[in-house]
Amino acid sequence: MSFRALLFLSAWMFATGIFGVLSRRHVVALLLSIELLFNGVNLALLTFAWAYGALSAASLAFLGIAVTVAEVAVGLAIFLLVVRLTGKAAADELKQLAG
Amino acid sequence: MKAFYLVLFAPFVSFALLALWPGLRRSGKPAAWTSIAAVAVSLLSAIALFFQYDGGVHEVRWVWIPLAHFPSLTVGFLVDGLSVVMALVVALVAFAVQVYSLGYMSEEPPASLGRYYTYHSLFTFSMLGLVFANNLLEAYIFWELVGACSYLLIGFWFYKPSAARAALKAFWTTRLGDVGFALGIAVLFAHFGFLSYDKLFALEPSHALFLGLLGVYVGAMGKSAQFPLHIWLPDAMEGPTPVSALIHAATMVAAGVFLMVRLMPALQHTPELLHLVLWIGAITAFLAATMALVERDIKRVLAFSTISQLGYMMAAVGALSAGAAFFHLFTHAFFKALLFLAAGSVIHAMHTNDMFAMGGLARPMRWTMILFLVGALALAGMPPLSGYFSKDEILVATAHAPVPFALLMITVFLTAFYMFRAFFLTFTGEPRNPESHPHESPVVMLWPMGVLAILAAVAGFFGSTVHEMLNHSLGFESLHSGEEHHPAWIPYLGLGLGLLGILVAWMGYARRIFRPERVYAAFYPLAKVLEERYFIDHIFLLLYWLGYNTVATVVGFVDRYIVDGVVNFVTWATFEVGKALRRFHNGVVQDILLGVVVGFLILAFFATGF
Please give the Cα distance from A92 to B246 (Å, whole number).
Answer: 84
Mutate to test the interface with A, among B583, B590, B594, B597 (most CBs of A within 10 A): B590
Residue (of B182, B178, B181, B160) closest to B170 by Cα position? B178
Compute how many other C-beta atoms are within 10 angstroms of the C-beta atom of residue B518: 10
CA distance to partner chain A, nearest, from residue B593 (Å)? 7
User: Helix, strand, or coil here: B11?
Assistant: helix
Looking at residue B574, its pLDDT comes to 94
Looking at residue B480, its pLDDT comes to 57
* A90-97 mean pLDDT: 77
pLDDT surpasses 80 at A96: no
Q: Do B597 and A18 touch (CB under 8 A)?
A: yes
Q: Which residue of chain A has the CA closest to B593? A: A22
Count how many pairs of residues, chain A against chain B, have C-beta atoms within 8 Å: 33
- pLDDT digits 0-9 by tens, B376-431: 999 998 888 998 999 988 998 888 888 999 999 999 999 999 999 999 998 888 88
Q: Between B585, B593, B597, which is nearest A98 by CB? A: B585
Asked whether B132 and B372 are in contact (CB, 8 A), the reply is no
Q: Do B587 and A92 touch (CB under 8 A)?
A: no
Please give the Cα distance from B603 to B598 (Å, whole number).
Answer: 9
Please give the Cα distance from B547 to B537 (Å, whole number).
Answer: 15
Looking at residue B204, its pLDDT comes to 87
Residue B479 — very low, low, confident or very high, per pLDDT cuts 50/70/90? Answer: low
Looking at residue A92, its pLDDT comes to 79
B236: left (phi over 0), alpha (psi -120 to 50) or beta: alpha
pLDDT surpasses 90 at B250: no
Percent of the residues in chain B that have a pLDDT greater than 70, as a whole number: 98
CB proximity A91 to B under 8 Å: yes
Residue B321 — very low, low, confident or very high, per pLDDT cuts 50/70/90? Answer: confident
From chain A, pick out residues whose CB is under 8 angstroms from the CB of B592.
Answer: 97
Q: Do A97 and B587 touch (CB under 8 A)?
A: yes
* B90-109 mean pLDDT: 91
**Burial environment of residue B352 by CB neighbours within 10 A (0 to 12, 13 to 18, 19 or more):** middle
Looking at residue B44, its pLDDT comes to 94
The alpha-helical segments, DSSP class H, found in B351-462 are 366-380, 386-397, 402-427, 443-458
From chain B, pick out residues whose CB is under 8 angstroms from the CB of A33.
Answer: none
Q: Evaluate if pTM is beyond 0.90.
A: no
Looking at residue B478, its pLDDT comes to 63
Q: Do B594 and A22 touch (CB under 8 A)?
A: yes
Residue (of B212, B285, B266) closest to B479 by Cα position? B266
- pLDDT digits 0-9 by tens, B297-318: 999 999 999 999 999 999 999 9
**Burial environment of residue B589 by CB neighbours within 10 A (0 to 12, 13 to 18, 19 or more):** middle
Q: What is the ipTM of this complex?
A: 0.79
Residue (of B120, B54, B55) closest to B90 by Cα position? B120
Q: Do B588 and A22 touch (CB under 8 A)?
A: no
CA B44 to chain centre: 25
| Single-letter amino acid, residue B264 | M
Please give the Cα distance from B589 to A96 (Å, whole number).
Answer: 10
DSSP-derived letter for residue B239 is: S
From chain B, pick out residues whose CB is under 8 angstroms from the CB of A97.
Answer: 585, 587-589, 592
Element (H, E) at B265: helix B264-267
